[in-house]
Amino acid sequence: MDSILVTGNGPLSGQIPIAGAKNACLTLMPATLLSDEPLTLTNAPRLSDIRTMTLLLQSLGAEVQALNDGQVLALSSHALTSTRAEYDIVRTMRASIRVLGPLLARHGEAQVSLPGGCAIGARPVDLHLRAMEALGAEMDLRDGYVHAKAPAGGLRGGVVRFPLVSVGATENALMAAVLARGTTVLENAAREPEIVDLAQCLRKMGARIEGEGTSRIEIEGVDRLGGATHRVVTDRIELGTYMLAPAICGGEVECLGGRIDLLQAFCEKLDEAGISVEETAAGLKVARKNGRVRAVNVVTEPFPGFPTDLQAQMMALLCTAEGDSVLEEKIFENRFMHAPELMRMGARIDVHGGTARVRGVEALRGAPVMATDLRASVSLILAGLAAEGETVVSRVYHLDRGYEHVVRKLRGVGAKIERIKGE
């Protein structure tokens, strides 16, 4: 297994290009199942999660071609051969549940394996299932699979009231509703930019949707959808991660393609911590010019709040802040597994349930550490960039799921980082 060697060094400077959003792409790709005409996605990120979704769609009989070094995905579902998403693929990536809505909407049935356990908490799929039921589907759980069946004549519009905000369940419900008969209203819908991106793509395919980006989305079902070409929105989590690199190490880095509206709450916290963020013609310029970062308190929330997917990276920054910071994780239980690893590097962190208190220290020291999930692994790299000495982050396959060319991008701004090939 490969690992990453990071040697702490001084200020960073230069530019980092930000890729298309992994999470948007993972929900745009299954949208191909809604139409027999081609869907072309541009600005796709080159990641192992995208390859997993490719395999899943291919297992259903869809054609998926990666062009232009993987940045363009040409998808077509004119001849599906299966409506069954197998355990072998689903267990490796929870986002697989996103094929449920489109399969059910276009083919009237779907069997999707239950995703099973996950390192950052239980993460059930009950909200996805309830949304499909609200559109008239019959759901049955057998042999570890969800067996879903639409009524004769297909799904019908309905009111879906989510008891809590779920990105994935909103996406599944939206994709199911675009081909349902009549009007569907999604209440307490998620408002993430990736949902806005999905709605925009579906509209290009001929869907009738209003209200995306608000908590009430209204969909008027249509008989069929056509093809489209769509550019995947910027990855706000990759953006926030790289914005933290100069915040931690000092210096000035311009993140190309960055937009403040994707990360308003996060940018406000950086400002409070003493980091400057400036909009430029090409993206966002981030700088920490003098002094130590100030401690700040962070509560993770659904969009437009502070994203849970940036909590681990923010913690890495706050480890060397002046004063105590409190991070409250409200989206996922058990999402502080990076804390004990950061403590191996000299951080002082107390975790109690969903709250972590970080007492800022002058400096971190390099150490061998282990990545436990995608965002945790990149937080350890960020910490290593600022630590004294060498840090070796093992289990980097987590990183490959969500960060393309991480070594190349960070080297480009002067970081000392290399990938060490495993046995």
Catalytic residues: 118
- Nearest Cα neighbor of 47 from 105, 100, 93, 99 is 93
Residue 233 as a binder of ligand UD1 (CB under 6 A): the answer is: no
- Round to whole Å and give the CA distance between 195 and 171: 7
Q: Which two tokens stand for residue 393?
A: 């982050």
State how far Cα 336 lies from the chain centre: 17
Residue 382 as a binder of ligand UD1 (CB under 6 A): the answer is: no
Torsion angle, alpha carbons of 263, 264, 267, 273, to 10: -130
Per CB under 6 A, the list member of 166, 200, 313, 379 interacting with ligand UD1 is: 166
The nearest distance, CB 68 to ligand UD1, in angstroms, is: 23
Per CB under 6 A, the list member of 18, 19, 23, 100 interacting with ligand UD1 is: 23
Per CB under 6 A, the list member of 169, 263, 383, 393 interacting with ligand UD1 is: 169
Per CB under 6 A, the list member of 32, 35, 113, 308 interacting with ligand UD1 is: 308
Residue 3 as a binder of ligand UD1 (CB under 6 A): the answer is: no
C-beta of 26 vs 39, nearer to ligand UD1 = 26
State how far Cα 378 lies from the chain centre: 13
Residue 32 as a binder of ligand UD1 (CB under 6 A): the answer is: no
- Round to whole Å and give the CA distance between 100 and 188: 20
Residue 90 as a binder of ligand UD1 (CB under 6 A): the answer is: no
Residue 96 as a binder of ligand UD1 (CB under 6 A): the answer is: no
Question: At CB < 8 A and 24+ separation, what contacts does 262-269 make?
Answer: 262/193, 262/233, 262/234, 262/236, 263/236, 263/239, 263/307, 264/304, 265/301, 265/304, 265/305, 265/306, 265/307, 266/240, 266/306, 266/307, 266/310, 266/314, 269/296, 269/298, 269/306, 269/314
Per CB under 6 A, the list member of 168, 246, 250, 384 interacting with ligand UD1 is: 168
- Round to whole Å and give the CA distance between 386 and 256: 22
Q: Is 137 in contact with 112 (CB distance < 8 Å)?
A: no
Q: Tell me, by CB under 6 A, how many residues bind ligand UD1.
A: 21
Residue 332 as a binder of ligand UD1 (CB under 6 A): the answer is: yes
C-beta of 19 vs 417, nearer to ligand UD1 = 19
Residues 345-364 that bind ligand UD1 (CB under 6 A): none
The nearest distance, CB 188 to ligand UD1, in angstroms, is: 12
Per CB under 6 A, the list member of 18, 60, 85, 127 interacting with ligand UD1 is: 127
Residues that bind ligand UD1 (CB under 6 A): 23, 26, 94-95, 121, 123-128, 164, 166-169, 194, 308-309, 331-332
